[in-house]
Amino acid sequence: MSPLTTPHFFRLLLWVQWRSLLARLRGIRRESPLLLVVLAGFVLGYLAVGYWLFHAGLKYLHNFPLVGSLLMQRILFLIFGFFFVMLVFSNLIIGYSTLFKSRETTWFLSLPVTHRNVYRWKFLEALVVSSWALIFLSAPMMIAFGRVHEVPLAFYAQIAAAYLPFVVLPALAGSWIIVFLVRVLAHRWVKKGALLLAAGIVLLLIFGVKPVTDADAVAVQDVLSFDQLLRHTRLSVNPYLPSAWLAQSVLSWSEGMGRQGAFFFLLLVSNALMGLFVGFEFVGRFFYGSWTSALSSRAERFQRAAEAKRVLVRRRSPLEWTTDLLRPLSPPAAALVLKDARLFWRDPAQWIQFMIFFGLLCIYVLNLRNVAFNFTNPFWETMISYLNLAASALTLSTLTTRFVFPQFSLEGRRLWVLGLAPFGLQKVLLQKFWMSCLGAMAITVSLMIVSSVMLHLPSAKVAFFAGAIGLMSAALSGLAVGLGALFPNFKEDNPSKIVSGFGGTLCLVVSFLYIALFVALAALPDVRRVVKVDFPLPDLAIHGAAVALSLAVLFFPLLMAMRRVKNLEI
pLDDT in tens, 304-352: 555 655 555 455 555 555 565 555 556 666 667 667 666 666 666 666 6
pLDDT at 35 over 90: no
Residue 334 to residue 320: CA distance in whole angstroms = 9
Q: Out of 61-75, 424-438, 490-504, which region has the weakest mean confidence (pLDDT)? A: 490-504
CA separation, residue 447 to residues 80, 390, 456, 496, 551 (Å): 26, 13, 14, 26, 23
pLDDT of 372: 47
Query: Quick one: which H or E segment has residue 89?
Result: helix 68-96
pLDDT at 218 over 70: no
pLDDT classification of 302: cutoffs 50, 70, 90: low
Nearest to 292 by CA among 410, 186, 411: 186
pLDDT at 270 over 90: yes
Q: What is the pLDDT of residues 456-511, one digit of tens each?
A: 788 888 889 889 989 999 999 988 888 888 888 777 766 766 776 777 777 887 88
Residue 414, classified by CB atoms within 10 Å of its CB into exposed (0-12), middle (13-18) or buried (19+), is: exposed
Q: Out of 74-83, 102-111, 545-554, which region has the weakest mean confidence (pLDDT)? A: 102-111
pLDDT at 451 over 70: yes
pLDDT of 352: 65
Q: Which one is predicted more confidently, 189 or 277?
A: 277
Q: Assess contact for 276 and 164: CB atoms under 8 A.
A: no
pTM for the model stands at 0.68
Any idea what DSSP says for residue 455?
T
b/e code 237-256 from CB counts within 10 Å (16+ = b): beeebbbbbbbbbbbbbbee
pLDDT at 224 over 80: no
Q: Which one is predicted more confidently, 236 or 266?
A: 266
pLDDT at 514 over 60: yes
Q: What is the pLDDT of residues 162-175, one digit of tens each?
A: 989 999 998 888 88
Q: What is the pLDDT of residues 15-25, one digit of tens each?
A: 888 887 788 77
CA separation, residue 393 to residues 361, 386, 461, 471, 518 (Å): 11, 10, 17, 10, 10
Q: What is the pLDDT of residues 371-399, one digit of tens each?
A: 544 456 777 778 888 888 888 888 888 88
pLDDT of 349: 61
CA separation, residue 41 to residues 36, 46, 51, 135, 520 (Å): 8, 8, 15, 19, 21
Nearest to 371 by CA among 455, 458, 465, 450: 455
pLDDT of 327: 59
Q: Please measure the distance between the N-terminal and C-terminal CA atoms of the chain and give it in whole angstroms.
A: 39
Torsion angle in degrees (nearest 10) through CA of 159, 161, 164, 165: -100
pLDDT of 1: 44
Nearest to 553 by CA among 490, 491, 475: 475
pLDDT of 118: 85
Q: Out of 146-160, 324-338, 504-518, 544-558, which region has the weakest mean confidence (pLDDT)? A: 324-338
Mean pLDDT over residues 526-537, rounded? Answer: 73
